Structure 1
Amino acid sequence: MAEIARRAGVSKNTVSLALRHDRQIPQETRDRIARIARELGYNKNATVARLMAELRRGKAPRFRSCLAVVNAHADRNAFRTHPTIPTYIEGCRRRAAALGYRLDEFWLHEPSLDGIRLNKVLRARGIMGVIVVGLMGNNRLPDRFLPTWQSFPTVVTGVRTHEPALSFACTDHHMLALAAFRKALALGYQRPALVIDPVIDELVEHRITAGVQVAQRALPRARRVRTFLPPDDSPGSEAGFHEWREREHPDVILTLYNNVRRWLEKRRFRVPRDIGLIQLEWRSSSPDWAGMNQHNDVVGEAAVEMVIGMIHNNESGIPAFPRATLIDSSWVDGSTVKTRLPPAR
């Protein structure tokens, strides 16, 4: 604003009044200042403008800006009933409230909803940015919502999207796998192994399997266990799992699935006496498991901070260079592992 004032040969206060179309300033002067502002690439910060408008009206500042949080999961109630998605929402709500924003919820699979209609609703409600939560199964958002991603600052949680590629916040899946594998070795396990659904592996761009493969380089080849990728047909997964286990002889399993424990116990395996289990997405609903807390609530907080930063910087549309915020995981002790003595030499 100071540069506009210098070029126009007026005070900053005059510039401020002119850009608000105040009639105290002659029309000719307002037009000249507006032209100079355009030449300098000046853009009004909508958030600050709303706050200053309230102050000028004599109101105490009440920051009631709004963000959209879009449920991309097939289940309309996933924000409340899914095993992990509510944790993202908890973080989104906590950080949004701390920064003076409220959240309005939308479901991406609403039959009557598309990008054009969603844009109208967002603008009518004064919503300034979008956070997408719960995308699973693939990395692509429905094509019919392209107008929304082209019009609003948008951040995706949990995964990276393709076509379009949007900025995202998620756990660092590569370091998650590395840390879990190294923890297993530190506990004395000799043959750590990974069990992961190929759909999830694809969704996180193979960063978990890649982390395990990198960690295995520290082991002699004889101790490197092949990853078990269950087939898509769940009835065959249990039998296939036991065939793999009998062939590979893992002594601790890294997985995202609690049903692996049931499969083992049905065969009379005792956890952790006979075999250890490490949950790669530790959940408070199963507190006895040892594993990695992905801090999905912190991921939600990061997504809110990212989209608000975009709003403050007047960024919108599909970014040329999407940004990523990666959140570290941390180890949680539990009864599904034990410290093992090194083998006798």
Structure 2
Amino acid sequence: MMDIAREAGVSKNAVSLALRNDPQIPEKTRQRIQAIADRLDYRKDPVVAQLMARLRTTSEPEGNKATLGLINANEKGDAFTNHPTIPRYVEGCRRRASQLGYSLDTFWLYDPEINATRLQRILRARGIRGLLIVGLMNRNRLPEEFSEIWESFPCIVTGVRTRKPAISFASTDHHIITLRAFEHALELGYRRPGLVLDRTIDLLVEGRFSAGYRTAQEPLPRKERLNPLIEDRKGSGTLKTFEKWLKKERPDVIFTLYNDVRDQLESLGYKTPDDIGLIQLEWRPDRPNWAGMNQHNDLVGEAAVDMIISLLHSGESGPPPFPRATLIGGSWVDGITVRRQVSESELGTAS
């Protein structure tokens, strides 16, 4: 590194920053230093990089910690604290960042007092190293007016895969979660599992919920493969549509993301789990009695921090040519909304 600094006519610290694509160094200077490093066949020592990360977590004063930006990309400014899913991502981001010696500065993308130019200026003034983007729930695209920021910083998205720009992301594995939930339903003796889902959510995750459901149906006899109910759940005809679907498909258990499905069943005269079981595809601690899949979205947040730090170590910025994904598996949680089904053969044996 000293040879690079000598030839470039800069300090060793400037070389270190340039090789990490740190925006504190002007872009032309970074490119010149990086070109010299390539010509001199410079390679970062991974052991040294790991040691420096370790030193940061154990000995760096609180005020000097490297800082990451935690971007609230949701339209609602309170989404980090008042949302069924997003706070779990944030919890994991904060925990993992603290463990690794990083501090987090929070920004709301839809703050009326912030535009792209001002946000860029604030990020640079605060020495923000990379960006964790949390809260995309209605679409999987980032606002185009902030494109300069996505181009300038290492970025990782949580929860969804983005397009234009396509950025590396961490997410729960929606496909495998639905598949595993289906398998648990079959183990409990259910034979006609159904799926109730909001169309916007399934589109947001590129159909991975419904794809997992249809994949799990493949081993079943055709007469037991139900059509899922995927609709706009904000519409006024939701209950009527739900009732028609129940009568046509006759599910004995339902996978869903919505706690109000239980209320809808009760309003139509069905009891849970006596008549129809319910399995929550995003089990949450605030409804501990439900059976379902814990998505471990806090671990998604942790994975996002690990990914952004990896980008910092490798000096990568902007949308990558080949975006990477880290998928977190879920785990089954027992609950009173399902019960083991008794087969006809078991009934015959009992009698």
Question: Common fold, TM-score beyond 0.5?
Answer: yes
What are structure 1's unaligned runs of at least 5 residues? 9-13, 22-32
Aligned residues: 317
Query: Structure 1 residue 73 and structure 2 residue 74: aligned?
Result: yes
Report the RMSD for the aligned CA atoms in angstroms: 2.8
Could you list the per-position Cα deviations for residues 276-317 of structure 1 after superposition, in whole angstroms to 9, with x for gaps in the alignment?
A: 000000000111100000000000000000001101111101
Could you tell me how far 1:135 is from its partner in structure 2? 0.2
Aligned: 1:61 with 2:54: no
Q: What is the aligned partner in structure 1 of residue 193 from structure 2?
A: 192
**Partners in 2 of 1:301 and 1:264 — Cα distance?**
37
Q: Are 1:67 and 1:130, in contact at CA under 8 Å, matched by a contact in 2?
A: yes
Which residue of 2 is the match for residue 254 of structure 1? 255
Q: Which amino acid aligns with 2:182?
A: F
Residue 205 of structure 1 aligns with an amino acid whose one-letter code is E
Confirm or deny: 8 A CA contact 1:230 1:241 kept in the other structure.
Answer: no
Deviations 1:2-43 (A, max 9, x none): 9x59xx9xxxxx99x96358xxxxxxxxxxx99854623659
CA distance in 1: counterparts of 2:294 and 2:233, whole angstroms? 26
Q: Does the alignment pair 1:123 with 2:124?
A: yes
Q: TM-score, normalised by structure 2?
A: 0.84
- Contact 2:160 2:169 survives alignment (8 Å): yes
Deviation string 1:120-142 (CA, Å, 9 cap, x unpaired) is 11111111000011101111110
Is the CA contact 1:195–1:227 (under 8 Å) kept in the aligned structure 2?
yes
Give the conservation status (yes or no) of the 8 Å contact 1:191–1:225. yes
Q: 1:19 aligns with which of 12, 16, 30?
A: 12
Q: Secondary structure at the match of 1:131?
A: strand
Query: Contact between 1:167 and 1:319, CA under 8 Å: does it hold in 2?
Result: yes
Per-residue displacement from partner, 1:184-219 (whole Å, max 9, x unpaired)? Answer: 001000100100101001000001101110110110
Distance 1:35 1:226 in 2: 57
Distance 2:36 2:166 in 1: 35
Moved over 6 A (4+): none
Q: Distance in 2 between matches of 1:266 and 1:314?
A: 57
Q: 1:128 aligns to what SS in structure 2? A: strand
Residue equivalent to 2:105: 104
Equivalent residue, structure 2, for 1:224: 225
Q: Which amino acid aligns with 2:165?
A: P
Q: 1:142 corresponds to which letter in structure 2?
A: P
For 1:157, the aligned partner's letter is T
In structure 2, relative to structure 1, the CA distance for the partners of 1:20 and 1:44 (3 Å cut) is farther
Q: Deviations over 1:20-74 (max 9, x none)?
A: 58xxxxxxxxxxx9985462365999xx99x98xx9xxxx633511111111111
Which whole-Å CA distance do the structure 2 matches of 1:252 and 1:34 have between them? 59
Aligned ranges 1:259-298 → 2 under 5 Å: 259-298=260-299
Distance change >3 Å, CA 106–CA 44, structure 1 → 2:
farther
User: Residue type matched to 2:188 in 1?
Assistant: L
Whether the 8 Å CA contact 1:18–1:34 is kept in 2: the answer is no
Structure 2 gap segments, 5+ residues each: 15-32
The one-letter amino acid paired with 1:224 is R
SS in 2 for 1:78: coil
User: 1:40 maps to which residue?
Assistant: 40
The residue number in structure 1 matching 2:161 is 160
Q: Percent identity?
A: 53
